[in-house]
């Protein structure tokens, strides 16, 4: 039976990425060695890293004055690296979910944090609007897509201060005006590669303005200077990332990926809104195209476990909602084929007929 992978992360990768990575595990670049055992400083792997960073700049139209680096530690390490490098006195944060809240907690270790708005009181079921960002802050930070709750900010805010963004779960899902940001970071395990590498896009001019001493490994300038090779980078995930980037280019770039994503999300949300058994969990205008969250309507709550079993038997993997919110979550990352979304919709319709 075909499996349809709706896992929230680590999550689906393109067949192109998996096939090429598997081949490199056996024999990388004709070296007669596995990608798992080669030196990260070999000319063959340096070429991979250089090409991947260059392709990121091309696909996202990264302007001059920015550098792309690969780091370990996941996006969670960036929760402290961003304020370590940028927060001199005060920063503004938007609280839209668990990961935004975690970032706020870390930033408070380095200075004053102004939480300009939060949707916590409504269990993060909407994106706050109409808030004011003080002009005396060192930067404004937000999380563009909230994987647990299924909300997304699908535009580039215009602010008068520096801006940092956690794009872990929607990077490459839409065109981004990088020039509006000073730091963009993204854990790889949603839309780029296996877990283990984190993508950083940073404006060099934004660095070097804090007085505190920064540990060598936590200073972005260290990794820019050494071109992501200050210490041993996550070799295999970087190789996989390059394959994903090549696949994005083959699909027609980020603009084409966005069109496919909008189409996939639209047909699933349409079914959720039509089907008598289900309903969405967040404000319609803030619905994520990456993580579609839904629950059983109140009168059908007792069928939740039955639907989970029914869907699993039909090959649906990873649709159970996050343990903190329950219900269901279908993650429609860039590599998710429309056919899998259609299979889930068929599953929902068939279950509806039975009840």
Collapsing DSSP states into helix, strand and coil, what is residue 277? coil
DSSP string, 110-164: TSEEEEEEE-GGGTT-S---S----TTSS-EEEESEETTTTEE--S----SS-EE
Annotated active-site residue in 138, 170, 182, 190: 190
Active site residue 129: no
User: In the structure, how many helices (H) and strands (E) does the chain have?
Assistant: 9, 14
- Determine whether 190 is an active site residue: yes
Q: Is 138 in contact with 90 (CB distance < 8 Å)?
A: yes
Of 149, 192, 158, 129, nearest to 288 (Cα)?
A: 149
What is the number of alpha carbons within 13 Å of residue 210 lying toward its C-beta?
25
Active-site annotation holds for 166? yes
- Of the candidates 95, 99, 219, 286, the residue annotated as catalytic is 99
**In 3D, which of 178, 183, 163 has the Cα closest to residue 92?**
163
Distance CA 255, CA 273 (A): 27
Among 95, 138, 166, 170, the one annotated catalytic: 166
* Sign of the CA dihedral running 97, 257, 171, 66: negative
Please give the positions annotated as active site: 99, 166, 190
């Amino acid at each position: 039976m075909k499996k349809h992978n709706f896992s929230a992360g680590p999550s689906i990768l393109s067949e192109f990425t998996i096939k090429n990575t598997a081949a490199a595990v056996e024999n990388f670049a004709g070296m007669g060695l596995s990608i798992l055992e080669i030196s990260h400083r070999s000319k063959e792997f340096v070429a991979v890293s250089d090409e991947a960073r260059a392709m990121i700049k091309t696909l996202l139209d990264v302007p001059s004055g920015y550098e792309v680096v690969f780091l370990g530690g996941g996006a969670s390490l960036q929760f402290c690296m961003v304020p370590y490098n940028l927060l001199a006195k005060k920063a503004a944060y938007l609280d839209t979910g668990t990961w935004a809240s975690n970032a706020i907690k870390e930033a408070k270790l380095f200075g004053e944090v102004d939480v300009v708005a939060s949707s916590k009181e409504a269990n993060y079921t909407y994106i706050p609007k109409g808030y004011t960002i003080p002009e005396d802050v060192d930067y404004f930070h937000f999380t563009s897509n909230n994987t647990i709750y299924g909300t997304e900010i699908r535009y580039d805010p215009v602010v008068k201060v520096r801006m940092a963004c956690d794009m872990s779960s929607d990077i490459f899902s839409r065109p981004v005006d990088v020039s509006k940001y000073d730091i963009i970071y993204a854990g790889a395990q949603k839309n780029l590669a296996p877990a283990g590498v984190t993508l950083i896009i940073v404006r060099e001019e934004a660095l070097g303005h804090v007085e505190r001493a920064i540990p060598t490994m936590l200073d972005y300038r260290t990794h820019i200077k050494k071109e992501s090779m200050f210490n041993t980078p996550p070799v295999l995930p970087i190789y996989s990332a390059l394959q994903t980037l090549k696949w994005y280019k083959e699909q027609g770039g980020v603009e084409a990926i966005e069109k496919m994503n909008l189409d996939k999300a639209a047909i699933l949300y349409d079914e959720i809104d039509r089907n008598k058994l289900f309903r969405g969990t967040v404000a319609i205008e803030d619905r994520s195209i990456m993580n579609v969250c839904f629950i059983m309507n109140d009168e059908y709550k007792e069928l939740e476990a039955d639907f989970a079993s029914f869907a699993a038997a039909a090959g649906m993997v990873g649709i159970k909602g996050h343990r903190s919110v329950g219900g269901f979550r279908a993650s429609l990352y860039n590599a998710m084929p429309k056919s899998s979304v259609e299979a889930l919709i068929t599953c929902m319709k068939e279950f509806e007929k039975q009840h």
